[in-house]
């Protein structure tokens, strides 16, 4: 028998096509009769549309169609829906303003779509778009979430620009605990708005076929079935079976490609009006203003302790910036995915959090790698580190005093952690980071004129949001299960269909490892198919680090069915009773004998059923499973970051970064490490350089890679990463998920290190050289 595949560093099956230029991303798809779309976008953050004159554009060379919001309204095309209903503290539903795919009456952020021009060539579309004349009546813009309540209203139904005020926890009990605390630590900060910037820009290519009144939509999406469901049921009013959505190779998502976007709707709708395929691919400057942004919280957070540093209570007040409209999952990110994580790894018995989510004249904000959990971790880990310093308790010791040590553990903010060992990851991280030698390194750095600092972050994450009925009771408007199908071919090779989507995560390898291991096959004998609604039964896609925990488990459940059926076939072939047949990695065996059949032999018998129990069993070997998890999974980890700050310039260098994560069982360590490296780098980007800036008129100042920095190779070091395993207790693989961890834990670790280096209570993110230098001017350094 082969060595186990689960846990092995198997090279990726998908790499060959990417390394040879043979990947197929949406923009690579060229359809017969292809046309190209260009969007006319608002240059104003807030304005009434007095007139949209498309006559000149319509007559421009090559133009085949020009459409405005009025056309969509006339055709009764619906607005973009929001997938999660949050209920206000007063019991009323959140305000859900209409979100038309092309603006109607008003524009509410720079970059909002006013019209779409479709032409024979991209050049022609772009040139004609410049001929669309729009008469704007410019209105004052709300850009700062703190001032939003008193700014010009964006939507009639929300006169104070408030979408909802939501809370969790027992405020009176929390206030009482604060009143008798020995020490209270308070911080006030902004969790900076980020622009996701997957390197593949968003793209859609939609084709209508009159032959059967159907649509095929290629789109850079993380969840093609959800895209189809939202687009057909809520926006275009089409039957789902007439729409095929294909998310082919997708060049990174990080959350930004979860959502149903207006461009997808407009191109799909236009393809029918024109009876031609319509393609649009974002220019990067369009991505900056039209991809959903992430984070953007203003928070006041307090932690109450007894005299020994034991946490008594936490009180958090957050204003979340939703941008101009409710994007697909915008409402649940600063609530359900944020406040429920405020216990972190600690036994804080009382937590209260209030969140006011505001509309502003900025690009809509939604889930971005971590989605609420980085914001929560930042609150918790900045508070804990600051409290430790204020109370003169070693920050690691402070954490240890408060770690949750018995599981399952019910937090005061709804979640029940199934398992974990926080001490183990912290201890390992401290050892790998040589925390003991830090003082010496600090002194050595000082001789070079550098300020060295060390910061921790011990994060918790909740992945695989579930179960559907609980989520439904909290406002989710979608299911949260996943689907797997195993199709065994007559010669024993296997095609697996998954509703999860891979856009860099390596599912084609990881999932194949799981299946091949269980069936005793080589990885090459198992292919994974994803991203096509015409092939995959159904799926919720990839977000929230759910793929292996939910999608992987669905596959395992389908495998169980395959094996159960295989046992019956084997029992027949071996002339034994079903109950006597045992199965282990590709071999069906009569217990206690050496009589056996291989998986391949059983598969062949299923498809060539000459010697087969046809009276009891259908031929064929093809099973599927829908898996709805019983609980979230709870990855956790400890990060130690060391920085060196250049006193003269304020520039911060990440001197070392150690990450020890507990992802439960690891299927492919190589891929898991890669996920951590990427997440850490995005987290470091948030902490140090990623700065989204609007001016008072609502213009995005940081609207290109020339002004919005994302980390380059020279901004980060080699990372030191390792894992500890406490297997998840409620899925068969024992897996928890690893996609977002790095982005969740890194920002707090970096800022904790910088504040340590500077000896200050706080520095704002991003802690650019300029920001740190400014902070240094107020110190004695």
Partner 1 sequence: MVKVSMKVNGKPVSAELEPRTLLVTYIREHLRLTGTHVGCDTAQCGACTVLVNGKAVKSCSIVAMQAEGADVLTIEGVAKPDGTLHPMQAAFKENHGLQCGFCTPGMVMNALDFAKSNPNPSEQEVREALEGNLCRCTGYHNIVKSIVAGAKAMAATK
Partner 2 sequence: MHAFQYHRPSSLKDATATGAKDEAKYLAGGQSLVQAMKLRLAAPTDLIDLSSLKELSGIKVSGSAVEIGAMTRHAEVAASAEVKKAIPALASLAGMIGDRQVRHMGTIGGSLANNDPAADYPAAVLGLGATITTNKRKIEGDKFFKGLYETALEPGELITSVSFPVPKRAAYMKFKNPASRFAIVGVFVADFGGSARVGVTGAGPSAFRQADMEKALAAKFAPDSVANVKVRADGLNTDLHASAEYRAHLVTVMARRAVEAALS
| Interacting residues toward partner 1 by CB under 8 A | 11-12, 14-25, 27-28, 30, 123, 196-201, 249-252, 254, 281, 283-285, 503-506, 670-671, 673-674, 677-682, 704-706, 710-714, 716, 718-719, 742
| Residue among 289, 282, 263 nearest 67 (CA) | 263
Single out the segment in contact with partner 2 by CB under 8 A; choices: 356-364, 414-422, 741-749, 762-770: 762-770
Asked if the bond preceding 467 is cis, omega within 30° of 0, the reply is yes
Compare residues 17 and 712 and give the one whose CB is closer to partner 2.
712
Q: How many chain residues bind partner 2 (CB under 8 A)?
A: 23
Which secondary structure element, helix H or strand E, spans residue 255, and what is its range?
none
Shortest spacing between CB 370 and partner 1, in angstroms: 14
Radius of gyration of the chain (CA): 27
- When the beta carbons of 83 and 504 are compared against partner 1, the nearer one is 504
- Choosing among partner 2, partner 1, none, which partner's interface includes residue 541 (Cβ < 5 to 8 Å by kind)? none
Q: Is 564 helix (H, G, I), strand (E, B) or coil?
A: helix
Range 379-390 burial, b when 16+ CB lie within 10 A, else e: bbbbbbbbbbbb
Q: How many CA atoms lie within 13 A of 523 on its CB side?
A: 21
Residue 310 beta carbon to partner 1: minimum distance, rounded to whole angstroms: 36
Q: 325 to each of 203, 205, 219, 362, how far by Cα in Å?
A: 21, 24, 22, 9
Residue with tokens 């902004």: 190
Q: Alpha helix locations (H) across 543-589?
A: 553-574
Q: What residues does 494 pair with on adjacent strands?
A: 488, 526
Minimum CB separation from partner 1 for residue 11, in Å?
6
* Binds 505: which of partner 1, partner 2, none (CB < 5-8 Å by kind): partner 1
Q: Least Å distance between CB 37 and partner 2?
A: 18
Give CA separation, 259 vs 69, 78, 264, 337, in Å: 20, 16, 10, 16
Residues 736 and 546: their CA atoms lie apart, in Å, by 8
Q: Which stretch binds partner 2 (CB under 8 A): 4-12, 174-182, 202-210, 687-695?
A: 687-695
59 touches, from partner 1, partner 2, none (C-beta below 5 to 8 Å by class): none
Q: Which stretch binds partner 2 (CB under 8 A): 147-155, 416-424, 707-715, 719-727?
A: 707-715
Which CB, 742 or 766, lies closer to partner 2? 766
- State phi, psi for 74 to the nearest 5 degrees: -60, -35
**Helix (H), strand (E) at residue 219:** strand 214-219
Helix axis angle, 741-758 to 669-688, nearest 10°: 40
Closest separation in Å from C-beta 193 to partner 1: 17
Three-state SS at 24? coil
Q: Report CA-CA distances (Å) from 437 to 430, 450, 454, 485, 643.
A: 10, 17, 11, 52, 14
768 binds, among partner 2, partner 1, none (CB under 5 to 8 A by kind): partner 2
Q: In the structure encoding, which two tokens stand for residue 430, read together?
A: 């401290």
Nearer to partner 1, 16 or 614 (CB): 16
Binding of partner 2 at residue 774 (CB under 8 A)? yes
Segment near partner 2 (CB under 8 A), from 20-28, 241-249, 380-388, 685-693?
Answer: 685-693
- With binding defined as CB under 8 A, does residue 708 bind partner 2? yes
36 forms part of the interface with partner 2 (CB under 8 A)? no
Cβ 248 to partner 1 shortest distance, Å: 11
Name the CA dihedral angle for 204, 210, 212, 217, rounded to a multiple of 10 degrees.
Answer: 0
CB of 776 to partner 2, least distance (A): 11
Minimum distance of partner 1 from residue 496's CB (angstroms): 20
Tell me: does residue 648 bind partner 2 (CB under 8 A): yes
CB of 124 to partner 2, least distance (A): 11
C-beta of 191 vs 691, nearer to partner 2: 691
Q: Does 689 bind partner 2 (CB under 8 A)?
A: yes
| Calpha distance 371→463 (Å, rounded) | 11
Toward partner 1, which CB reaches closer, 68 or 668?
668
CB of 143 to partner 2, least distance (A): 15
**Per CB under 8 A, does 706 bind partner 2?**
yes
3-state class percentages of the chain: helix first, strand second, coil last, to nearest 5: 30, 25, 45
Which of 361-369, 599-607, 626-634, 704-712 is the region at the interface with partner 2 (rule: CB under 8 A)? Answer: 704-712
Q: CB of 455: closest distance to partner 1 in angstroms?
A: 18
Choices 15-23, 251-259, 336-344, 766-774; region in contact with partner 2 by CB under 8 A: 766-774
Backbone angles phi, psi at 240, to 5 degrees: -60, -35
CB closer to partner 1 out of 169 and 685? 685
**CA-CA-CA-CA torsion sign (324, 325, 328, 333):** positive
Distance of closest approach, residue 228 Cβ to partner 2, in angstroms: 34
d(CA 534, CA 488): 19
Site for partner 2 in 275-314 (CB under 8 A): 285
The CA-based diameter of the chain, rounded to the nearest angstrom, is 87
Does position 709 interact with partner 2 (CB under 8 A)? The reply is yes
Cβ–Cβ under 8 Å, residues 192 and 296 = yes
Residue appearing with tokens 């020995």: 182
How far is 781 from 773, CA to CA, in rounded Å?
Answer: 10
DSSP class per residue in 373-386: HHHHHHHHHHHHHH
Q: Give yes or no for residue 2 binding partner 2 (CB under 8 A).
A: no
Residue 773 contact among partner 2, partner 1, none, beta carbon within 5 to 8 Å by kind: partner 2
Instruction: CB nearer to partner 2: give 473 or 780.
Output: 780
Which residues in this chain contact partner 2 in the complex, by CB under 8 A?
123, 285, 648-649, 651, 688-689, 691, 693, 701-702, 705-709, 712, 715, 768-770, 773-774
């Amino acid at each position: 028998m082969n060595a186990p595949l689960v846990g092995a560093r198997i090279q990726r099956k998908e790499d060959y096509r990417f390394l040879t230029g043979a990947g197929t991303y949406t923009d690579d798809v060229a359809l017969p009769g292809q046309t190209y779309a260009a969007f006319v976008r608002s240059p104003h953050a807030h304005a009434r549309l007095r007139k949209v004159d498309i006559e000149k554009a319509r007559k421009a060379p090559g133009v085949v169609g020009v459409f405005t919001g009025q056309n969509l309204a006339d055709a009764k095309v619906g607005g973009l829906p929001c997938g999660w209903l949050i209920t206000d503290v007063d019991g009323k539903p959140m305000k859900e303003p209409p979100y038309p795919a092309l603006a109607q009456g008003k524009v509410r952020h720079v970059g909002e779509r006013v019209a779409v021009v479709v032409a024979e060539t991209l050049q022609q579309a772009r040139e004609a778009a410049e001929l669309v004349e729009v008469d704007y009546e410019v209105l004052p813009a709300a850009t700062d979430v703190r001032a939003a309540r008193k700014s010009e209203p964006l939507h009639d139904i929300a006169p104070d620009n408030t979408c909802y005020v939501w809370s969790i926890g027992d405020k009176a009990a929390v206030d009482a605990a604060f009143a008798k605390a020995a020490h209270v630590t308070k911080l006030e900060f902004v969790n900076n708005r980020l622009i996701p910037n997957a390197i593949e820009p968003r793209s859609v290519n939609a084709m209508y076929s009159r032959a059967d009144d159907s649509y095929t939509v290629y789109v850079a999406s993380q969840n093609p079935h959800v895209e189809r469901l939202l687009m057909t049921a809520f926006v275009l009013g089409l039957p789902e079976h007439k729409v095929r959505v294909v998310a082919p190779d997708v060049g990174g998502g990080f959350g930004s490609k979860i959502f149903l976007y207006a461009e997808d709707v407009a191109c799909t709708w236009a393809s029918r009006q024109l009876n031609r395929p319509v393609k649009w691919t974002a220019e990067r400057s369009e991505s900056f203003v039209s991809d959903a942004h992430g984070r953007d919280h203003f928070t006041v957070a307090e932690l109450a302790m007894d005299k020994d540093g034991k946490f008594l209570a936490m009180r958090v007040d957050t204003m979340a910036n939703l941008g101009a409209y409710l994007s697909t999952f915008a409402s649940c990110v600063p609530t359900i995915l944020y406040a429920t994580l405020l216990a972190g790894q600690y036994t804080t018995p009382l937590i209260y959090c209030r969140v006011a989510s505001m509309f502003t004249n900025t690009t809509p904000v939604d889930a971005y790698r971590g989605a609420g959990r980085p914001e929560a971790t930042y609150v918790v880990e900045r508070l804990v580190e600051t409290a430790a310093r204020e109370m003169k308790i070693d920050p690691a010791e402070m954490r240890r005093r408060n770690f949750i040590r018995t599981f399952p553990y019910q937090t005061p903010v709804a979640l029940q952690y199934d398992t974990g060992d926080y001490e183990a990851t912290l201890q390992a991280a401290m050892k790998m980071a040589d925390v003991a030698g830090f003082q010496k390194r600090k002194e050595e750095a000082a001789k070079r004129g550098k300020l060295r600092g060390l910061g921790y972050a011990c994060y918790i994450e909740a992945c695989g949001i579930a179960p559907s009925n609980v989520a439904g009771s909290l406002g989710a408007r979608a299911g949260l299960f996943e689907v797997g199908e195993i199709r065994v071919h007559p010669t024993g090779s296997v095609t697996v269909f998954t509703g999860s989507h891979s856009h860099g995560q390596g599912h084609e390898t990881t999932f194949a490892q799981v299946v091949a291991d269980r069936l005793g096959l080589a990885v090459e004998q198992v292919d994974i198919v994803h991203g096509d609604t015409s092939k995959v039964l159904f799926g919720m896609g990839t977000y929230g680090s759910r793929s292996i925990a939910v999608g992987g488990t669905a596959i395992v459940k389908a495998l169980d069915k395959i094996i159960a059926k295989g046992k019956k076939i084997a029992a027949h072939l071996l002339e034994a009773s079903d109950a006597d047949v045992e199965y282990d990695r590709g071999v069906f065996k009569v217990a206690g004998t050496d009589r056996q059949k291989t998986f391949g032999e059983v598969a062949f018998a299923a498809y060539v059923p000459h010697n087969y129990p046809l009276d009891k069993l259908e031929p064929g070997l093809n099973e599927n499973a829908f898996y709805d998890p019983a609980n979230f999974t709870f990855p956790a980890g400890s990060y130690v970051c060391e920085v060196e700050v250049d006193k003269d310039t304020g520039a911060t260098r990440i001197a070392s970064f150690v990450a020890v994560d507990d992802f439960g069982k690891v299927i492919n360590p190589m891929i898991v490490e890669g996920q951590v490296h990427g997440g850490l780098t995005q987290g470091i980007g948030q902490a140090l350089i990623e700065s989204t800036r609007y001016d008072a008129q609502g213009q995005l100042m940081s609207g290109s890679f020339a002004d919005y920095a994302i980390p380059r190779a020279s901004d980060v070091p080699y990372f030191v990463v390792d894992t500890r395993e406490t297997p998840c207790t409620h899925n068969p693989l024992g897996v928890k998920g690893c996609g977002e961890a790095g982005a969740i834990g890194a920002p707090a670790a970096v800022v904790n290190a910088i504040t340590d280096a500077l000896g200050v209570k706080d520095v704002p993110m991003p802690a650019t050289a300029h920001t740190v230098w400014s902070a240094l001017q107020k110190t004695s350094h």
